[in-house]
Structure 1
Amino acid sequence: MNLPDLQSYRSNFISKGVELPLPVIAGTDNGLLKQLPSPPSGKTGWPWNEQVEPAVYDHKINWPKLTIVTPSYNQADFLEQTIRTVLLQNYPNLEYIIIDGGSNDQSKQIIEKYASWLSYYQSEKDNGQSHAINMGFSLSSGRYHAWINSDDYYLKGVFHKVISKFMSAKVDFIYGYGNDYNVLSGKTTTTRILPFIDYFIKIPGLVQPSTFWSAAIHEPIWEELHCSLDFELWLRLVKGHSRVLIKEPLSVANVHDQAKTHSPKMKAQWEADHQKIWAADAHGTVHEWKKIVFLNRIRIKLYSLFTKK
């Protein structure tokens, strides 16, 4: 496993004239809703003509800096929604970075429309999603981290909920449920996550856009992976660290034909990632895999029994 040196990425940005730390997005007592560009015609509700009221953030609290990175490539149909759900949280200490891989749809124009409210953005060819995320976090100065893909979005009030939990629970990692929205059928389904111990971390399940973590435990993404990059990251980043589950949806993933998670075309790439992750020079063979799966089934059954209302 060959992980990149994020300091080298950071140095490259500095050599290009990027000044660090990046500017924090300035909020106002009335929020950003009336400052941001008008939403597209016909778009209403969150995050189009609604915002998190800034008053929810107690002025007596020194809210820690939160860094959000969005890797972007040719998702213009969803990107504006993603951006607005970050900005309209009205979080008072936000660092928002968008790394676009040189999109050839309308993504760049959308990003530039919101440029005044971004800490940093670029739109130029890169080496894919993992590379873009790593470049984004190499610029980070936030105490807490998360990334949101350009076809996913946060639910209303999530930043206040998550950072409040970080401050009260004193943990390294927070995760929550997630919604899937099928853009063709209009149906929404919810993925509910169970609390877990390290023994079960090899069972895929975390909802990537519903995860947040401390910068103190941050690690780079393995850039050779194309689909399972988040799962492999959790194997390294989460193990051994304190965590807490928020038992409600924190994000929405738009389900569409081009989404890697749902595209049949990506089946071979998922398998290639699987081979890399469990190779001898990476995480190695899981010899007790059947035992882990068996015990996980028991865990699920017991949890459902003891949590029935």
Structure 2
Amino acid sequence: MNLPDLQSYRSNFINKGVQLPLPIVAGTENGLLHQLPPPPCGKTGWPWDEQAAPTIYDNRINWPKLTIVTPSYNQAGFLEQTIRAVLLQNYPNLEYIIIDGGSTDQSKQIIEKYAPWLSYYQSEKDNGQSNAINQGFSLSSGRYHAWINSDDYYLKGVFHKVLNKFMSTNADFIYGYGNDYNVVSGKTTTTRVLPFIDYFIKIPSLVQPSTFWSAAIHEPVWEELHCSLDFELWLRLVKGHSRALIKEPLSVANVHEQAKTHSPKMKAQWEADHQKIWAADAHGTVYEWKKIVFLNRIRIRLYKVFGYYS
């Protein structure tokens, strides 16, 4: 497994003239809703004409810096929703970075529309989603990290809940439930997550956009992976570190035919990633994984019997 050196990415940005640390996107007393560009015609509700109440952030608290990275490529139909759902959290100490891979749709124009409220953005060819994520975090100066893909978005008030959880628990990793919104049927389903313990860490169960972690435990994404990059990262990043679960949805994933998680065209790529992950010496054998899968099925049944999912 060859992981990139984020310091080399950081140096490349500095050589291009990027000034570090990046500027902060600070919430205002009345929030950003009426400062941002107006939403597209007909778009209402969160995060279009609603915002998280700025008053939820006690100004007596020194809120830690939160870095959010959005990797983006040709998702103009969803990207504005993603951006607004980050900015309209009105978090008082936000570092927001968008790394777009040189989109050929309207993504660049959308990003530029919100440029005054971004800490940094670029739109140029990169080496895919994993590379974009690593580039983004190489610029980070936040105490806490998360990434949100350009077809997902955060629910209202999530940053307040998550940062309060970090401060009250001193956990290294915070995670929650997630919603899937089917853009064709209009139906929403909720994915509930079991307590994430080390023994079952090899079971893909976390909802990626509902995860946040301390910069102190951050590691690069493995850039050879195209689909299972988040799962493989959790194998390295979460094990042995303290964590806390928020038992409610923190994010929404838009389910559409181009999404990696739901596209039949990506089946072979998922399998290729799977083979790479279990061929990596650090993650054990396929036999061990199958054993854990079997025991996890028993665990899920027990949780259901005792009403965890009720």
Q: TM-score range by the shorter chain?
A: over 0.9
1:166-195 deviations in Å (ceiling 9; x for gaps): 000110001100000000000001100000
Q: Contact 1:158–1:250 at 8 Å: present in 2 too?
A: yes
1:187-229 deviations in Å (ceiling 9; x for gaps): 0011000002100000111000000000000000000000000
| Secondary structure, aligned partner of 1:278 | helix
Residue 236 of structure 1 is matched in structure 2 by: 236
Counterpart code for 2:148: I
Percent identity of paired positions between Structure 1 and Structure 2: 87
Residue 303 of structure 2 is matched in structure 1 by: 303
| Secondary structure, aligned partner of 1:304 | helix
Comparing 147-156 and 25-34, the one that deviates more: 25-34
Structure 1 distance, partners of 2:48, 2:187, is 20
Residue 51 of structure 2 is matched in structure 1 by: 51
| Secondary structure, aligned partner of 1:302 | helix
Structure 2 distance, partners of 1:281, 1:235, is 12
Residue 65 of structure 2 is matched in structure 1 by: 65
Counterpart code for 2:49: N
Comparing 130-139 and 288-297, the one that deviates more: 288-297
Counterpart code for 1:26: A
Q: Contact 2:69–2:98 at 8 Å: present in 1 too?
A: yes
Runs in 1 of length 4+ with deviation above 6 angstroms? Answer: none
Q: Contact 1:277–1:284 at 8 Å: present in 2 too?
A: no
Alignment of structure 1 residues 174-253 onto 2, 5 Å: 174-253=174-253
Structure 1 distance, partners of 2:289, 2:50, is 46
Deviation of 1:297 after TM superposition, in Å, equals 1.5
Deviation of 1:11 after TM superposition, in Å, equals 0.3
Counterpart code for 1:56: I
Q: Contact 2:26–2:90 at 8 Å: present in 1 too?
A: no
Q: TM-score, normalized by length of structure 2?
A: 0.98
Q: TM-score, normalized by length of structure 1?
A: 0.98
Counterpart code for 1:216: A
| Secondary structure, aligned partner of 1:30 | coil
Structure 1 alignment gaps of length 5 or more: none
Q: Contact 1:146–1:212 at 8 Å: present in 2 too?
A: yes
Q: Contact 1:155–1:250 at 8 Å: present in 2 too?
A: yes
Counterpart code for 1:225: L
Residue 137 of structure 1 is matched in structure 2 by: 137
1:29-86 deviations in Å (ceiling 9; x for gaps): 0000000000000000000000011100000100000000000000000000000000
Structure 1 pair 115/126, CA: closer, same or farther in 2 (3 Å)?
Answer: same
C-alpha RMSD of the superposition: 1.0
Alignment of structure 1 residues 153-164 onto 2, 5 Å: 153-164=153-164
Counterpart code for 2:94: L
Deviation of 1:280 after TM superposition, in Å, equals 4.5
Q: Contact 1:25–1:118 at 8 Å: present in 2 too?
A: yes
Deviation of 1:281 after TM superposition, in Å, equals 4.4
| Secondary structure, aligned partner of 2:286 | coil
Counterpart code for 1:5: D
Counterpart code for 1:27: G
Counterpart code for 1:17: G
Residue 108 of structure 2 is matched in structure 1 by: 108
Deviation of 1:282 after TM superposition, in Å, equals 5.1
Structure 2 distance, partners of 1:281, 1:62, is 42
Residue 119 of structure 1 is matched in structure 2 by: 119
Structure 2 distance, partners of 1:282, 1:127, is 24
